[in-house]
Structure 1
Amino acid sequence: MTLDTASRGKIAFQGEPGANSDEACRAHYPDYQPVPHATFEDAFEAVKSGACALGMIPLENSIMGRVSDVHHLLPQSGLKIIGERFKPIHFQLMANRGTRLGDVKTVVSMPFAWGQCRRLLRQLGVSMEAASDTAASARIVAEHPDPTRAAIAPALAAEIYGLDIIARDIEDEAHNTTRFVVLTAEPNPPAPPPGVRCVTSFVFRVRNIPAALYKALGGFATNGVNMTKLESYMENGAFTATFFYAEVDGRPEDVGLSHAFDELKFFSDHLEVLGVYPADPFREASGI
């Protein structure tokens, strides 16, 4: 597709200004303008329509697991993955100026963030108030000053909304990391340069025959392909997990992966490659 000139330099994310996704956009694509969207559907549509050249979308978190909405939206979107970014997640407890930690009775944030900061929340004995987004919780606290309320959000949100950070890096685990994927509407994006370690993401649905999944995956083992992820998910309201999202090391044209895909196709009635992209250096640094 040909992108409208006005769309160049824009990258879509879900959430409000100051969200973790906003931080990820600014850190990894500093030459692009981050554009907030209320929902994942809106962010996907911004990329599909050409309003934004790229999308920065969270796929999974090391504590909370996969972002289920994205697993359903991505295969249907027609978008392609052209990159991945791992972002260490640090949450801050922030409040209006003058608020002390001992004053806080209510903490505003999204449940996904609560689950990553349980230790401090239990220690404080506070009640929780749900917000649609971590950055939104900071905005809410800033717009309605109350010395008994605080928000859990990234440091960028405190800067944007003029709040004080009263407890830093409150996440339960030091390894707390979110993996983002970078999306484009280009149907055939350029292949990664030769010699670069790559990841291939794809979805498939096995045929309704005995041991189909076992046989479909056998080709990856016999051809020496390292499968790093395999997750099932329901589609169209079915209670049988017939769809699978998978990731492997390598490129489809590699001999081993090419043979593995041939075998997978034989035992599947649907196979779609969602992207072939360079592995983030975080993988090697972390031994992934």
Structure 2
Amino acid sequence: MNLSDLRKQIDELDAELVKLMAKRLEVSDQIGKVKEETNSPVQDLSRESEVLNRVQSLARSLGLDPQDIESLYQEILFISKKQQRFTVAFQGAAGAYSEETALKIFGPNTLALPYEQLDGAFEAVEKGMARFAVVPVENSLEGSISRTYDLLLDSNLMVAAEHELRVSHCLIANPETTLEGVKTIYSHPQALGQCQSFLKHLRAELIPAYDTAGSVKMIKEKHLLDGAAIASERAAVIYNMKVLEREIEDNINNYTRFFVLAKQDSAPSGNDKTSVVFAVKHEAGALYDFIKELASRKINMTKLESRPTRLKPWEYNFYLDIEGHRQDENIKQALAKAEDHVIFMKVLGSYPKMKKRI
């Protein structure tokens, strides 16, 4: 058999593979519709793990490299998820970091719905206008986004996933504007806070705005030639604006953590986190007694933060992240016993843990 014959066989096999892929995507499309109808979890990592383990095992039995096959199937799973079109609400304008995060999670086929305020993104899911909302919860430099936590306290939505985005800020202006000509800079307060070292040398007036990308859109629409905005490079591309400076954040380790919100949280994946909000009784040792219920069961606490209750001055709610799923027996036992030490407690959701940065 010569080279031409062998290549012909490859061509025939490729044609079969493409046909099979088309059939797989048809089924993925049907799965997406079922998920939409049943409000299924944002991402079924246990199912993905099952698929990857199965194909790796099959690869070994056929003498193939399991890691190569896993890499191939990671791409197939990503393409399959793209086929399942998701409607996702976010706060900000097109080009916002929240929108970028939504597209990274759900794929470029996502229908991303912008809302000027975080309240609108929550409401969109609550009223069925969007299936999910992607909202920022904390930044590695500036800390927690208070409004998100306040809304989580009052909402019936649950945390179904978390995602981390490396935030790299640009100074963006109209094409005619020069760096020397910038007199006013607009952006979200968090973004302004993350770029203080760069900004203090410009001596420009800093004006807080509701959104990073929205600031770019505003200076374009108003044609502000002495104004600039801090946002992502993607926002500059979307609005056809000029990047004056890149990577102006104070610290390259600038990450924002986002929650994906839905009407229900995620099923156990075997590697989960659970977020809880609670208020302890006003008595000595109450917080210690609460935490002791976790420690005695070897439950790792990854975050504990207090926020004013907004009901009485100097009274606080505690926001807690722990490792494990609310359906895990030790978590159920710990939270049940912790009820003895609290005025109220609400589980915000359980979801797969983010992969660690390398």
TM over 0.5: yes
1:238 aligns with 312
CA–CA separation in structure 2 for the residues paired with 1:163 and 1:157: 8
What pairs with 1:62-73 in structure 2 (closer than 5 Å)?
Answer: 62-73=140-151
Q: Which runs of 5+ in 1 are unaligned?
A: none
Aligned-pair CA distance for 1:13: 0.4
Aligned-pair CA distance for 1:256: 3.3
Of 236, 239, 242 in structure 2, the residue corresponding to residue 158 of structure 1 is: 236
For the Cα contact (< 8 Å) 2:216–2:230, is it kept in 1?
yes
- Taking structure 2 as the reference length, the TM-score comes to 0.73
1:276 aligns with 350
1:201 aligns with 275
Of 127, 135, 139 in structure 1, the residue corresponding to residue 217 of structure 2 is: 139
Q: Which has the larger strand fraction?
A: 1
Q: Which runs of 5+ in 2 are unaligned?
A: 1-35, 40-84
For the Cα contact (< 8 Å) 1:15–1:38, is it kept in 2?
yes
Of 155, 169, 183 in structure 2, the residue corresponding to residue 77 of structure 1 is: 155
CA–CA separation in structure 2 for the residues paired with 1:12 and 1:258: 31
Greater shift, 99-108 or 85-94, is seen at 99-108
CA–CA separation in structure 2 for the residues paired with 1:147 and 1:248: 49
What pairs with 1:33-182 in structure 2 (closer than 5 Å)?
Answer: 33-182=111-260
Greater shift, 258-267 or 60-69, is seen at 258-267
1:20 aligns with 97
For the Cα contact (< 8 Å) 1:20–1:154, is it kept in 2?
yes
**Cα pair distance change 1:3/1:260, threshold 3 Å:** closer
**Cα pair distance change 1:236/1:111, threshold 3 Å:** closer
Q: Which has the larger helix fraction?
A: 2
Aligned-pair CA distance for 1:140: 1.5
Structure 1 vs Structure 2: percent identity of aligned residues?
35
1:202-230 deviation digits (Å, cap 9, x = unpaired): 11122233321111111111211111111
For the Cα contact (< 8 Å) 1:158–1:164, is it kept in 2?
yes
Aligned-pair CA distance for 1:124: 1.6
Aligned-pair CA distance for 1:253: 3.5
- Taking structure 1 as the reference length, the TM-score comes to 0.90
1:101-133 deviation digits (Å, cap 9, x = unpaired): 222222122222111111111112212233221
CA–CA separation in structure 2 for the residues paired with 1:129 and 1:184: 33
Aligned-pair CA distance for 1:86: 0.3
Q: Secondary structure of the equivalent of 1:97?
A: coil
Q: Alpha carbon RMSD of aligned pairs, Å?
A: 1.9
Task: Kindly indicate whether residue 285 of structure 2 is the aligned counterpart of residue 223 of structure 1.
Answer: no
For the Cα contact (< 8 Å) 2:266–2:351, is it kept in 1?
no
Report how many aligned residue pairs link the two structures. Answer: 277
Aligned-pair CA distance for 1:3: 7.1
Task: Kindly indicate whether residue 268 of structure 2 is the aligned counterpart of residue 192 of structure 1.
Answer: yes
For the Cα contact (< 8 Å) 1:3–1:50, is it kept in 2?
no
CA–CA separation in structure 2 for the residues paired with 1:190 and 1:105: 47
For the Cα contact (< 8 Å) 2:268–2:327, is it kept in 1?
no
Of 294, 307, 321 in structure 2, the residue corresponding to residue 247 of structure 1 is: 321
Higher Cα Rg, which structure: 2
For the Cα contact (< 8 Å) 2:171–2:231, is it kept in 1?
yes
